[in-house]
Structures are given as C-alpha cells and as structure tokens.
Amino acid sequence: MSSEHETTITMEQSSLEISTNDIHLNVQVDNQLRVMSNHVTSPSDSIFDEINLPISVDVSIPSRRELIQVQLEALLNNPEQSSSSSSYIHEANIISLENLSKKLNTPHFIVERILNILGFLSLNEDVLSISQYNVIRLTQILNSTTDVRILLFFMILDINNDNHISKIEMNDFFKLYFQNLSFNTHNLEEAIETFLKRFHFDTQNEINFEEFYSIIIEDETILRIFSLFSIRSTRSLLPEIKSHENFIHQYFPRFYSYIALLNVHQMTLVYNYLQDNIPQIILFIIYFLINLALSLYVIIFRSTILKNNVCIIFARVCGMLLNLNCSLILILTLKQTILIIRSKRFLRYWIPVDIHIDFHKFIGRFISILAIIHTIAHMINFGYVQEYSWSILMFTTTPHIGWVGGFATLSGIILSIVLAIIIIFSMNWVRRKGYFQIFYWSHRFYLIFFVFLIIHAENSWKWIIGPFIWFSLEKIYSNIKRYSTHTGRTYLNCVTIEQSNVISLNIHKPKNFIFKPGDYIKINMPQIAPYEFHPFTISNAPEDNSLRLHIQINGNWTKKVYERYKNMSDNDDISETHIRIYRADLNPKRACIEERSYENTIENEINTTTMNDLNNLSLKKEIIIIDGPYSSCARYIFDCEHAILIAGGIGVTPYASILSSLMAQFRASRMNCSHCQNTIHSKKILLDNYRLRKVDFIWISRDHKSFEWFFKLLYEFEKEQDIYLKSHPTEKRFLTVHLYLTELKIDKNIGHHPLQLITEVWTQVTGHDIFTGLKSKTHIGRPEWDKVFNQFYLEHNSSMINNVGIFFCGPTTMNKTIQTMCNRYRFNFYKENF
Ligand SMILES: Cc1cc2nc3c(=O)[nH]c(=O)nc-3n(C[C@H](O)[C@H](O)[C@H](O)COP(=O)(O)OP(=O)(O)OC[C@H]3O[C@@H](n4cnc5c(N)ncnc54)[C@H](O)[C@@H]3O)c2cc1C
C-alpha cells in the first residue's frame, strides 16, 4: 500500500493476530486500537500493510511512534509466543551482559542500552545479566519489523529519554561506538559529520522520532541497513549443546577427520583433484615404478644369484633406493633449470616444477626412512658374521668393507650423523620458529653428505655425479652473478617506513638485471648480517628503473632492518650514509610525494651518469647483494584469460608487481590524438602480447592501514582504467579490486550496523571508500569464499574454466581453504607461500 489511510478498529475484548515473516503477533486491546496503514514502501516490512479488518473512520491520528510502540509492546507482552518456540529454555538460566555483548559482537554499551529500554536487565550475584527467556524475546523483537528496529535505534540514541535525539547524543554515540571497536581512520570524524548531515544536524540541533523515521524511510541506503538491524539467531547466543559429532571432534580429532574424509563430498573433491593434476600423478607413478623396479631387481639378483640373507637384501634394496633418491633430491634444487622450465608453457605443464619444494621434502623424509632401515639391516647382519666381532665390524676398517680403504661402516656412521643433523634441523619447529639460520647452515652439510656417500658405496658416484656437476655449475653461475656489479652487487637508493610494521627498500637496479613480474630475489645486507640471504618478492614493475621490496617484520633479521632505518630517521642520523628515509607511517601522502620527486632525481642521475660514477657513488651508499631473480608461479598469470589474484597481508607483493607492470602497459599505450585532443590507447601495446583479458584482485588484510602500502598503485590503476574505459566505452573493466578488512569482524548482528551506516553514507557522498580512499569498496570481515568462487564460476561456462587461474600468496591457513574451493569449482590453483 502506498497511500495513507486512517483507520480505526473498534474491538471489544478483541484479539488481533498479525503475522509477519517469522513472528506471530497477538495484540490484546481492551478498548480501542487505532491502526493507520503505513505508507512505507518495501523493503520496510510494516505489519500494518497486512491488516484487513472492518474499518470505521475516526478523526484522531496516532503518531507514528505510538503505533510502533504498540507493536513493540505487543511483542513484549507475548509470553506464550516466546516460550512455545523455545521449549528447551529454562527461565532460571541466565547469561551475563558481558557474555551477551561478546556473542553479539556488539559494544557493551549498546547491548546494555537495549536491554535497559526493554527492561530485560537484572542483577544476579552482582553481575548484570539477562535470562535466557529474555534472550529469546530480544531476538524476536529484533527480528520483527523494520519499524520496531528504527524505534529501538532511536531510543538507543535518545540517551536522556526526552523523545528527541540531539546532535551531541548522536555524535557521542558514534564516537563511543568506534572507540569500543578500537577502530580509527583519518577521516572518521568527517564521516560521522557527513552522516549527521543526513539527519539535518547541520541546520538543527535535535530531531524527534517522526523526522528521524521519515529521513530513514526516504533514504534507500539507510533504510536497507535498518532492515538488517537484527540478531542472527537465538541459538548462537545460548550455551552450545554438545552434539554427538562435537563430542567425537573434541576427543577423537584424528578419527573425526578420517570419518570426515570419507564422506561423499570429500570423495568428490579427491576425485576432482586427481582429474586436475594428471601430470603430477603421472610423475608420481613413474617415480614409484622406478623405485619398485630397482627394488625388484636387487631382490631378485641378491636372492637368486648372490644368495644373500634377508638382512643384506633389505640393506641393499634401501642402498639402491638411497642412490636414486639422493640424486633426485639434488635435481629438485636446480633453481636456474626450474626458471627455464617455468618460462616454457609446454614444459611446465608436463614437468610439475611448482611442487619441487614439496617433492624435495617428501624425498628427504623417504631418504631418512631408507637410511634407518639400511643401517639397522646391516647392524643385524653384522651379528651373524662369524669372522669378526660386531664392534670391529662397526667401528674399524679392519674387515675392509667398502671400496675406499674399508671405510664403509665408518663412513656409514658419519653419514647417519650428518643426515640426522640435516633432518632434525629442517623440521618445522626449527625453520618456522625463529631458527631459520640453524636450518640453513645445517643444510649446508649436504656437501659432507655427498662426499661421504661417494666414499661409502661403490656405485653411488655413478648416480650422484651428473646432478652434482649440474648443481655445482648452477651454484658457480649464481655466485658470479651475485657479486657482479652488473647483476647483483648494488646499493640502496632510499627507504620508506610504511604503515603496519613494513619497510620498503628502493634498490638501485643493476644494469643487466632482468626480471619478470612476480619474481623474487634473495638479498644480503652486510650491515645487518654479513652472511644471511633472505628472499623477498620484487613488488614493482620490470619497467621501473629501480627494484622495490616490501619487507614485513617477521623475525630477527627483518626486525633489525626495520629498526635500523627507523632509528636512523628518528635520530636524524642519515648524513653519513646518504640514505633518504621517508615516513609513510607518519604521513603517507607526504612520503609518497617526496619519494616520487626523489625517484625522478635519481632517474635523471642515472641518465646522465656513467657506470664508473655510479660505482663511486655506491661507495657512499649502503651495499646490497642480490641473488636472483628466481621465478614463482605468478609468472603464469599472463597465460590465463582471467586471473584471480588472492593475497593475504604481505602476500600482496607479487601481485603488486604484476599490477604495476599492467599499469605501465596502460600508460605506454596511452596517446593523445593530435586532431581531437582525446586520449586514445594503442591496442598494439596494450595486452597484445598476452592472453590476459580480466584480472580480479582480492586482498585480505587484517589492518586497514596496510592498504596504504600500495594505495598509490591501486589509485592510479583505477584512474588509468577510468581514462581507458572512457575512450573505449564498449570494453569491459579489466581490473576489479576486492579489498577485505578482517580487523573488524562482520556478522549479521546489531553491532555491525552503526559502522555500515557511517561507511556507506560516506561512500555515497564522496564516491570513495572510507578505509582506502579508493572507488572500490572495502568489505568488512573475511570473504565468504563459497559465494566468491560461485560468482566467478557463474561468469564462465564449464569449457572456459581452464582459462581461469587462481593465484594465491599468503598464510598457509588461508591456502587450504582456497585450495579446497579451487578443487570444488575446478579452477587451476597456483600458490606461493612466504
Ligand atoms: C619466495 C619468498 C618470497 C618472499 N617475499 C616476501 C615479501 O615480499 N615480503 C615479506 O615481508 N616477506 C617475504 N618473504 C618472507 C621473508 O623471506 C621472511 O619473512 C624473512 O626471511 C624472515 O626472516 P627473519 O630472520 O626476520 O625471520 P625468522 O624468524 O628467521 O623467520 C620467519 C619465517 O621466515 C622464514 N625465513 C627466514 N629466513 C628465511 C630465508 N633466508 N629463506 C626463506 N625463508 C626464510 C622462516 O622459515 C620462518 O617461517 C618471502 C619468502 C619467500 C620464501
């Protein structure tokens, strides 16, 4: 209904039953109930639209507030309704205000205010609490009509209960709200002010409910948010009832995950995985068959021809497999070769180089099992040898076992010790828990291992020699490159201290250093630690004149780098080293402008300076040794038609490089037409070399300040793209940015909506997102992956799925979810873990 009717319903001992979505309203009125049909159009779900009763006209008009108050009171005085829907609730059970506010993810003061308004708050053993029965009523009230929700919100804001909201009350409410969220952005105050203007607080100091209501009803955005101002479900607020499944999950987690694996859904995923990873499976089958064939050969040869006992056969089978696997493990570390394979589409499809680290780890574990069996089998066998005692066989060269001076058993002992050191120190608790250097240096023992392996067994060198020479040549090549001023030895241009514990280094790009977007380098900063190399992805475009790294504090080394330059800047101690340090953590805009002007200066310097000058210049600068570049699967992006780039936190760096490179192409393609003065884009330059037609960039960050790291890039890309789309109106958007902020938790409960009110009104007014200043909207909370993937899936028909690539770089926990989703939707998945 859209017109406004005035109706009076006369009832004696009447009972009015109104049904809205999921509540039943039973209004009991003694004398007269006046009802005015509501002029609200959808989505307001006013119950009065639904009333169809005999009407007698009366002249007195109740105010809107009175009418909604009737609804509210009806809900409050409806005990049967509440109790019938929740027979499992006992009225005596209580939940503390503190707990309720946590479960609702809503600031304490808002929950307290609502409960006070509804009269649901009581004091139990000195703790403010609410009965479970009232929790149900609260849910029902907040899930009733939008009118009721608007009234409740008005009452929350009307702190002094004078039936008016003043500007101060509203301002204070939002300030307190954001304080409770521990959230602030530089334009928050301005955003609150903008929101207040919607309620005409720029021209008046207070409003009553009628004005408040009509402003909301007429504003589509605000009305939509009010229609969501509710509580998700009662059950989520009440203590959990442990189900059978939960019990198994809690006490037998392994058994539970095994059972879960067996369900049909998981079986489908496994099936999908197998179908989508045929080359990997073929490789594994070949690997398995070679191991099997070698084992069978040794078993048959040793048992039938040499007539060896079981212990020797076991030892020799393991020995043979050790030879094979030790040579394979070396091959899997050939980084230059991997780089070549990666750059050829056909090669990398059939040689799954992306799993080289996982395969290296797998073989490492297999080697340790084989070595244990091999050693134990020989030790048992020594017990059967009559000629020498066990200890002589084990610890001396007297029995002349082996091919180099009877050294087999002693070299075997050394090999076991070396292998144990390598294996133990490569475990996660060493590598990932701040002892990476121990892992790194203990892994250097591989040299001793291979030398003793060759001495230990007669045939080992035949297996090892090829891969070892190949490996050594690669090492020599990368060392030459590393210390040459044309490719590796360089210096720091400038440093920017970024927001959220990140520092970005601007490094002079050596003359012959060539890289592709998404590649990474290993850097050594002698002034921080003379022998440590750490890998970092280059975050700018190959088209730029310098190299840029974004480094997040993670452990000792990164912390030292961050603190060194921060302290230098704090203490104004930069004159000696000639390093410029910009403080984006203090003033991002200023740092950006200053750095850009400095970049222009050094660009000019490079254009006018000879190499010798640069070398002399570098004496005054901080030296940096770079090793690389090394490739990552981010290189495959340009082989897809639609690339979906997903980054978690600092995992954005490879994609920043790719986006920078794409933007450089946009720029290079832009020309001004001399006739019409319009901007035109040369299709030849723009994306002509690539299959890539669409990029969706999803960046999930805990802290909204992190978006500042690449604000300039995203902002300029948006601008560049708008110019392009203006001159090519028929073209589709090339890059879509989806930013997610997890610092704030989203749920469908009331606590989220005040934030939504402020942010959405701000975007509507300014056209920019409040968190980033970009046109793209920042989503609050984690992505709902299923929805996100489903949307991408619907964009393509199933034959096109193969042209879509999902690229992920970020924390391992997120990696699992995304991999499962890719598996489900059959998208190609490529990951990069830091
Ligand atoms: C290919 C790749 C690209 C990366 N790109 C970036 C980037 O762009 N920005 C960024 O902030 N971080 C990046 N990292 C992570 C970065 O290398 C580590 O944060 C850094 O080396 C930590 O050193 P630390 O001594 O401060 O911390 P530690 O406490 O020693 O280690 C913290 C973590 O970093 C790993 N790590 C430490 N040293 C090394 C090393 N020499 N080689 C490999 N892993 C190491 C450890 O296993 C551990 O998980 C990348 C890592 C890899 C493997």
At 576 the pLDDT is 57
CA of 436 to the centre of ligand 1 (A): 9
- Long-range (24+ apart) CB contacts under 8 A made by 413-419 are 414/448, 414/452, 415/371, 415/449, 415/452, 415/453, 415/456, 416/371, 416/375, 418/445, 418/448, 418/449, 418/452, 419/367, 419/368, 419/371, 419/449
- Within 10 angstroms of residue 797's Cβ, the number of other Cβ atoms is 8
**Cβ distance 222 to 182 under 8 Å?**
no
| Per-residue confidence (pLDDT) for residue 245, from 0 to 100 | 54
Q: Which pLDDT band holds residue 316 (cuts at 50, 70, 90)?
A: very high
In this prediction, residue 51 carries a pLDDT of: 44
Provide the pLDDT for residue 84.
47
Shortest-distance Cα residue to atom 9 of ligand 1: 551
pLDDT of residue 248: 58
Ligand 1 in reach of 630 Cβ (< 6 A): no
Give residue 216 CA to ligand 1 midpoint distance, Å.
51
- Residue 682 sits at the vertex; the CA angle it makes with 677 and 683, to the nearest 5 degrees, is 140
Q: How many residues does the chain have?
A: 834
Do 564 and 439 share a structural domain? no
Read off the pLDDT of each residue in 239-259 and give the average, rounded to a whole number. 58
426 lines ligand 1 (CB under 6 A): no
**DSSP-based three-state secondary structure for 641:** coil
Which pair of structure tokens corresponds to residue 45?
A: 């779900």
* Cα→Cα distances 548→313, 491, 632, Å: 56, 12, 17
The closest-lying atom of ligand 1 relative to the alpha carbon of residue 434 is 29
Query: Residue 539: helix, strand or coil by DSSP?
Result: coil
Q: Is the CB of 433 under 6 A from ligand 1?
A: no
CA dihedral in degrees (468, 472, 474, 477; nearest 10)? -170
CA angle 601, 603, 608 (to 5 degrees): 95
**305 vs 61 pLDDT, higher one:** 305
In angstroms, the CA 464 to CA 327 distance is 5
What atom of ligand 1 comes closest to residue 653's alpha carbon?
8
Amino acid at 183: F
- Select from 607, 559, 565 the least CA-distant residue to 583: 565
483/510 Cα distance (integer angstroms): 11
- Closest CA to ligand 1's atom 6: 536
Ligand 1 atom nearest residue 832's Cα: 1
Q: What is the mean pLDDT of residues 152-174?
A: 89
Q: Are residues 692 and 653 in the same domain?
A: yes
pLDDT tens for 752-801 read 888 888 888 888 888 888 888 888 888 888 898 999 999 888 888 766 77
Whether residues 506 and 456 share a domain: the answer is no
Does the structure show a pLDDT above 70 at 322?
A: yes
Considering only CA atoms, which of 422, 427, 424 is closest in space to residue 448? 422
Determine whether the shortest distance from the Cβ of 709 to ligand 1 is under 6 A: no
Ranges 351-360, 616-625, 738-747, 776-785: which has the least confidence? 616-625
| Minimum CA distance residue for ligand 1 atom 7 | 536
CA of 523 to the centre of ligand 1 (A): 11
Same domain, 356 and 225: no
What is the Å distance from ligand 1's center to 834 Cα? 6
3-state secondary structure of 721: helix
229 neighbors 153 (Cβ within 8 angstroms) = yes
Ligand 1 pocket member 537 (CB < 6 A): yes
Query: 123 with 23: CB under 8 angstroms?
Result: no
Give, in degrees to the nearest 5, the angle at Cα 658 between 657 and 663.
95
**What's the CA-to-centroid distance between 322 and ligand 1, angstroms?**
31
State residue 513's pLDDT score. Answer: 93
Domain of residue 375 covers: 298-477
Q: So what's the pLDDT on residue 30?
A: 37
| Ligand 1 pocket check for 540: Cβ under 6 Å | no
Q: Which atom of ligand 1 is nearest to the CA of 654?
A: 8
Distance of CA 259 to the CA centre of its chain: 28
Please give the distance, rounded to the nearest whole angstrom, from the Cα atom of residue 556 to the centre of ligand 1: 10
- Give the distance (Å) from ligand 1 centre to CA of residue 830: 19
Lowest mean pLDDT among 139-153, 383-397, 420-434, 561-575: 561-575
Residues 651 and 626 in one domain: no
SS3 (DSSP) at 260: helix
* 630 CA: nearest ligand 1 atom: 1
Q: How far is the CA of 829 from the centre of ligand 1 (A)?
A: 23
Q: Which of 547, 550, 554 to mutate to test the pocket of ligand 1 (most atoms within 8 A of CB)?
A: 554
Q: What is the pLDDT of residues 456-473, one digit of tens each?
A: 998 899 999 999 999 999
> Is residue 781 within 6 Å of ligand 1 at its C-beta?
no
**pLDDT(201) > 80:** yes
Q: Is the pLDDT of residue 43 over 50?
A: no
With a 6 A CB cut-off, is 524 part of the ligand 1 pocket? no
Token pair 């992805």 in the structure block, residue: 537
- Measuring CA to CA, which residue among 358, 359, 371 is closest to residue 419? 371
Is pLDDT at 680 greater than 80 in this prediction? no
User: How many C-alpha atoms does 585 have within 13 Å on its Cβ side?
Assistant: 16
Q: Is 558 in the pocket of ligand 1 (CB under 6 A)?
A: yes
- Residue 398: the pLDDT is 87
Please state the atom number of ligand 1 nearest to the C-alpha of residue 560: 26
Nearest Cα neighbor of 364 from 293, 303, 289, 425 is 425
Question: Which residue owns the Cα nearest ligand 1 atom 26?
Answer: 555
Q: Using CA positions, which residue lies closest to atom 27 of ligand 1?
A: 555
C-alpha torsion 661→664→665→667, nearest 10: 160
The residue type at 425: F
Q: Which of 15-24, 94-103, 636-645 has the lowest mean pLDDT?
A: 15-24
**Out of 42-46, 118-122, 362-366, 814-818, least confident range:** 42-46
CA of 463 to the centre of ligand 1 (A): 33
Can you tell me the mean pLDDT for 514-524?
92
CA 115–ligand 1 middle distance (angstroms): 50
Output the DSSP codes for 345-402: HHHHHHS-GGGHHHHHHHHHHHHHHHHHHHHHHHHHHHHH-SSS-HHHHHH-STT-BS
Helix, strand, coil proportions of the chain in percent (round to 5)? 55, 15, 30
What CATH number does the domain containing 672 carry? 3.40.50.80
Q: Is residue 101 part of a domain?
A: yes
| pLDDT number for residue 188 | 84
Task: Tell me the CB-side half-sphere exposure of residue 302, using CA atoms within 13 A.
Answer: 19
- pLDDT reported for residue 262: 56
DSSP string, 125-155: TTEEEEEHHHHHHHHHHHTS-HHHHHHHHHH
536: Cβ below 6 Å to ligand 1? Answer: yes
Half-sphere exposure of 348 (CA within 13 A, CB side): 20
Q: Has residue 9 got a pLDDT over 50? A: no
Q: What is the DSSP string of 758-784?
A: HHHHHHHHHSS-TTTSSSSPEEESS--
Checking if the pLDDT of 16 tops 70, the result is no
Residue 662 lies in a domain: yes
Domain contains 405: yes
Of 443, 477, 511, which one is at a domain's C-terminal end?
477
> What pLDDT, on a 0 to 100 scale, did the predictor assign at position 12?
40
How many angstroms separate the alpha carbon of residue 552 from the centre of ligand 1?
Answer: 9
Residues 608 and 650 in one domain: no
- Give the mean pLDDT of the chain: 81
Pocket test for ligand 1, best of 357, 429, 435, 436 (most atoms within 8 A of CB): 436
Binding site membership of 528 for ligand 1 (Cβ less than 6 Å): no
The minimum-distance atom of ligand 1 relative to the CA of 551 is 11
Q: Residue 197 is part of a domain; what is its CATH number?
A: 1.10.238.10
Q: Ligand 1: distance of its center to the CA of 808 in Å?
A: 17
- pLDDT given for residue 376 in this prediction: 95
Q: Is residue 351 part of a domain?
A: yes
Q: What percentage of the chain has pLDDT greater than the value 90?
A: 28
Cα–Cα distance, 714 to 655 (Å, whole number): 11
Do residues 118 and 147 share a domain? Answer: yes
Angle at 456 between CA 450 and CA 458, to 5 degrees: 105
- The pLDDT score that the predictor gives to residue 237 is 66
- Cα of 528 from ligand 1 centre, angstroms: 15
Domain identity same for 515 and 651: no
Return the ligand 1 atom nearest residue 536 CA: 5
Residue nearest to atom 42 of ligand 1 (CA): 534
Report whether residue 432 contacts ligand 1, using a CB cutoff of 6 Å. yes
* Residue with CA at minimum distance from ligand 1 atom 46: 432
Residues 6+ away with beta carbon under 8 Å from 693: 641, 642, 687, 734
Last residue of a domain, one of 600, 630, 660: 630
- Residue of the nearest CA to atom 5 in ligand 1? 536
Check whether residue 626 and residue 640 sit in a common domain.
no
The tokens for 745 are: 């938790």
Per-residue pLDDT, 36: 37
Residue 106 Cβ < 6 Å to ligand 1: no
Residue 627: its pLDDT value, please? 93
In a domain, 79, yes or no: yes
Classify residue 502: in a domain, yes or no.
Answer: yes
Question: Could you tell me which of 4, 134, 44, 8 has the C-alpha nearest to residue 82?
Answer: 134
Nearest protein Cα to ligand 1, atom 37:
436
C-alpha 209 – ligand 1 centre gap (Å): 57
Q: Which of the pair, 587 or 47, is modelled with greater confidence?
A: 587
What pLDDT score does 580 carry? 85
Number of compact structural domains in the chain: 4
Closest-CA residue, ligand 1 atom 24, reads 555
* Residue 179 included in any domain: yes
Question: In the listed set 582, 599, 630, which residue is the last one of a domain according to the structure?
Answer: 630
Phi, psi of 78 (to 5 degrees): -125, 65
What's the rounded mean pLDDT across residues 212-227?
86
Of the given ranges (23-37, 253-267, 293-307, 670-684), which has the lowest mean pLDDT? 23-37
pLDDT of amino acid 510: 92
- Cα–Cα distance, 695 to 366 (Å, whole number): 40
- Residues 581 and 658 grouped into a single domain: no
Bond prior to 629 in cis (omega within 30° of 0): yes
Question: Residue 543 — very low, low, confident or very high, per pLDDT cuts 50/70/90?
Answer: confident
797 and 817, same domain (yes or no)? yes
Please report whether residue 527 resides in a domain. Answer: yes
User: Residue 545: CB within 6 Å of ligand 1?
Assistant: no
451 and 514 part of one domain: no
> Could you tell me if residue 781 is left (phi over 0), alpha (psi between -120 and 50 degrees) or otherwise beta?
left
Q: Is 436 in the pocket of ligand 1 (CB under 6 A)?
A: yes
Q: How confident is the model at residue 42 (pLDDT cuts 50, 70, 90)?
A: very low
Is the CB of residue 274 less than 8 Å from the CB of residue 344? no
Question: For ligand 1, what atom is nearest to the CA of residue 559?
Answer: 26
Give pLDDT, residue 691: 76
User: Which residue's alpha carbon is nearest to atom 33 within ligand 1?
Assistant: 432
pLDDT of residue 444: 93
Mean pLDDT (whole number) for 177-185 = 79
Domain CATH code at residue 496: 2.40.30.10
Question: Measuring CA to CA, how many Å separate 52 from each of 8, 16, 78, 341?
Answer: 11, 11, 22, 75
| Band (523; pLDDT cuts 50, 70, 90) | very high
**How many angstroms separate the CA atoms of 222 and 216, rounded?**
6
The pLDDT, as a whole number, for residue 32 is 35
Please report the pLDDT score of residue 461 as a whole number. 93
Contact between residue 81 and residue 24 where contact means Cβ atoms under 8 Å apart = yes
